[in-house]
Amino acid sequence: MTTSNRTLAVLITGASSGIGAALSLHYAKTTAHTLFICGRNAERLEETKRKCEQVGCKVFTKILDVTDRAATRKWIEESYQKTPLNLVIANAGTGTIHESLESIYQTFDTNLYGVLNTILPAIELYRTSSSNTLKQIAVISSIAGYHGLSTCPSYSASKAAVKAYGEALRIKLKPDNIRVNVVCPGFVRSRITDQNTCPMPFFMEAPDAAKIIAEGLSRNKAVISFPAPLRFAAWLISVLPNCLSDFIYAKLPNKA
């Protein structure tokens, strides 16, 4: 990859593992000249940085919990000062294996408010910038966000909120020339799916998912949802009468 082909400054949250780490490496190998990545695990984040730097990308890391609103805003603003961002990917998320009072609040704090803490400062910076370069925001939802799941109520609800918000923002921010894309993956290898003991149909490795996401973002797809069979099944059940969808989802095995 030549320097002239590296046109993007990309910021990715939750880059220490799973989709976030895979996206970091994908962009480092392809179109990013600079990466800003954050995570909560220093060792894993440094490993992501090392791999990205090996392929010629400049990488800045930050140990960060995206539920910290002030710290996240400060990091994004400082990153933008180093070089204007072209793509912000709000990827950091958590799963809920056992629903408890603490885990429910943690899931919403990370999956919903962590996304807001990431994209709202980015939107402000984009709106005040006079640059004509790419301004794009991607929010990572899930196929689980198509319908509330009794096996993971807080996870599916938080991802549904992110999906709906991203779809609405896409329309709202179009006049500002800010692209917004919603990503709804199925089962992708991550620290979340590593905890699952239930069946995971159409299971996918993270690098394969990263490639699909990056291609969808380059084409400015409104919703990047995959794999196709699982997406179709989730959509179909979501439009069925409740008496049918309740019956189907009640048959699903517990996550653990």
Per-residue pLDDT tens for 217-232? 999 999 999 998 888 8
pTM, two decimals, is: 0.90
pLDDT (mean) for 105-114: 97
Using one digit for the tens of pLDDT, what is the confidence trace for 139-164?
Answer: 999 999 998 888 889 999 999 999 99
List alpha helices for the chain, DSSP H. Answer: 18-29, 42-54, 69-82, 101-108, 114-128, 153-172, 206-218, 228-239, 242-250
Using one digit for the tens of pLDDT, what is the confidence trace for 19-60?
Answer: 999 999 999 999 999 999 999 999 999 999 999 999 999 999
The rounded distance, in Å, linking the Cα atoms of 182 and 43 is 29
User: What six digits make up the tokens of 156?
Assistant: 């599916």
Within 10 Å of residue 7's Cβ, how many Cβ atoms?
A: 12
Question: With contact defined as beta carbons under 8 Å apart, do 24 and 11 qualify?
Answer: no
Tell me 33's DSSP state.
E
* Superfamily for the 3-250 domain: NAD(P)-binding Rossmann-like Domain (3.40.50.720)
Q: Please state the domain extents for the chain.
A: 3-250
Active site (catalytic) residues: 155
**Residue 195: band (very low, low, confident or very high) from pLDDT cuts 50, 70, 90:** low
Using one digit for the tens of pLDDT, what is the confidence trace for 56-99?
Answer: 999 999 999 999 999 999 999 999 999 999 999 999 999 877 88
Closest CA to 45 of 27, 26, 18, 70: 18
If you search the block for the tokens 């894309």, which residue do you land on?
181
pLDDT (mean) for 178-202: 78
Share of the chain above pLDDT 70, in %: 90
The more confidently predicted of residues 249 and 6 is 6
